[in-house]
Amino acid sequence: MSITAAMVKELRERTGSGMMECKKALTETGGDLEAAVELMRKQGLAKADKKSGRTAAEGRVCVQVSADGKSAAIVEVNCETDFVAKGDDFVKFADDVAAAALASTATNVEEFLAGQMADGTPVEQLRREMIAKIGENINVRRLERLTSAEGRMWSYLHGTRIGVLVDLAGADAELGKDVAMHIAASKPVCCDEKDVPAEVVAKEKEIFAAQAAASGKPANIVEKMVEGRIGKFLGEITLVGQPFVKDPDQTVGKLLQSKGASVARFVRFEVGEGIEKEESNFAEEVMAQVRAS
């Protein structure tokens, strides 16, 4: 059977694959479009499996907030290069993942990948098809879905690499944005002192006490030095203890208090944090691809 340009065009539109790949698939299936689609999906999934071990430390953080502001989802979707992270296909996939995460009841990535996108496509299937289409490893690395009990969710995106969700009660839009922006900039570890694990505080006290004792000062002075350092430490890592970025003369806690607002929790994602990136030589990679072809 003759493979026409119109058949190749239709298969490209169906699969998003290259012209030569589409023509080859149609030739192998005798011009049967549906069989060609199935063949390319199988080949694509095999390609996806081969790419699964490659480091994916670029990507996007996406946020979705429900119309009433009571629920929100934040996701980190990774790829291998910044070039792909800016591409229309990857951007749409990441946005669709965030929307599906908001609609989902999944509490972790594994549950989410076992679920479905808005159009009913299995999430994991679509992820692997995207790998085959784009040619890079793609991961849904993290997601959080939060529901506010007493307030509402506020969000902030710093470009596409840093995203924040914060659950505030008694806040208006301006305060919600300001607190979310502060979290993005200042990286607090938790909301307040009660959220800091007791073992963390105990360890810091032990370190500060040893440092203070080495100064040779009396025990009562050492105790005050340790208390002061612990107070500074807690101020640095807790949201309410940090100086507000737009007005360092007051803490975030004082700002919230002045507005009659309170914070319940927050989530901050930054693309690639905690992933050890592989150093690569771009010229060598290109030459390796040329030799392989």
Q: What is the pLDDT of residues 130-144, one digit of tens each?
A: 988 888 899 999 999
Residues of the chain with CATH 1.10.8.10: 5-51
CATH of 5-51, one of 1.10.8.10, 1.10.30.50, 1.10.260.40, 3.90.930.12: 1.10.8.10
Q: What is the pLDDT of residues 94-139, one digit of tens each?
A: 999 999 999 999 989 999 999 999 999 999 989 988 988 888 899 9
Give the residue, 227 or 96, on which the prediction is more confident. 96
Residues of the chain with CATH 3.30.479.20: 58-147
Predicted local distance difference test score (pLDDT) of residue 218: 78
Predicted local distance difference test score (pLDDT) of residue 287: 62
58-147 homologous superfamily: Elongation factor Ts, dimerisation domain (3.30.479.20)
Instruction: Please give the angle made by the CA atoms of 110, 114 and 118, to the nearest 5 degrees.
Output: 120
Predicted local distance difference test score (pLDDT) of residue 149: 94
pLDDT-wise least confident of 51-55, 76-80, 175-179: 51-55
Residues of the chain with CATH 1.10.286.20: 193-263
Please provide the distance, in angstroms rounded to a whole number, between the alpha carbons at the two ends of the chain. Answer: 29
Q: Which of 270, 238, 186 is nearest to 178 (CA)?
A: 186
Task: Say whether pLDDT at 258 is over 80.
Answer: yes
Task: Say whether pLDDT at 289 is over 70.
Answer: no
Average pLDDT over residues 12-34: 77
Fold of 193-263: GTP Cyclohydrolase I; Chain A, domain 1 (1.10.286)
Q: Do β-strands 71-79 and 58-65 pair in parallel, antiparallel, or remain unpaired?
A: antiparallel
CB under 8 Å to 111, separation ≥6 — which residues? 104
